[in-house]
Amino acid sequence: MSDEEFLRKEIDSVEQQAAKRIDPGTGALTISIAVLALLVSLVLPWIGDATGLGVLLGESQGVLPRLFAFLALGVGVLGSGITLAVRRWGLAWVCALGLFAASVVGVLSIWTQQTTTSNKVVGPGPGLGLTIAVIAVVVLLVKWVKIAASRPPQL
């Protein structure tokens, strides 16, 4: 193998490795702030007096808020952290799709706390923590979709 062939193979392998990576740029700061907002929202009330941690641990009876808490913590916090650390394009898409599901469940969680099956019973309503968590998840969703979609097409 000549030096030119060896150099060409090395350049091609570096190019393939670079194509699998993302560069979040200044979006990493926005993602970090949104993750921090998610973590802070866990100590604020979500449903009545139940905090986000309480909802996560099953103190509340709402199924959708608990599912949202798992998705927000799993994909929003852990997924975002891992993806920022390894900077893989595929993980950026996993975060984007997971956060889409989390945002839908989050909006439904707020909606279910505002509606009841009887006009006589008033629900506890969504707390400040749940609202902040849903907004943070939507911000994360927008940032991860922008980052994941920014990959140039392969030639």
Instruction: Quote the mean pLDDT of the chain.
Output: 85
How far, in Å, CA of 7 to CA of 128, rounded?
A: 58
Alpha-carbon distance 100 to 96, whole Å? 6
Which one, of 34, 5, 155, 27, lies nearest residue 92 by Cα? Answer: 27
DSSP 8-class letter at 63: H
Q: Judge whether residue 2 has pLDDT over 60.
A: yes
Is the pLDDT at 147 greater than 70? The verdict is yes
The CA distance from 44 to 60, in Å, is: 14
Give 95-107 pLDDT, tens digit per residue.
999 999 999 999 9
> Is residue 120's pLDDT more than 60?
no
Residue ranges of domains in the chain, CATH in brackets? 3-149 (1.20.140)
* pLDDT at residue 3, rounded to an integer: 72
Instruction: Quote the pLDDT of residue 113.
Output: 82
Task: Write the pLDDT tens digit of every residue in 44-93.
Answer: 999 888 899 999 998 877 789 999 999 999 999 999 999 999 988 889 99
pLDDT score recorded for residue 22: 81
Q: What is the pTM of this model?
A: 0.83
Instruction: Output the pLDDT for position 9.
Output: 73
- The answer to whether 87 touches 23, Cβ cutoff 8 Å, is yes
pLDDT higher at 132 or 60:
132
Give the H/E segment covering residue 45: strand 45-47
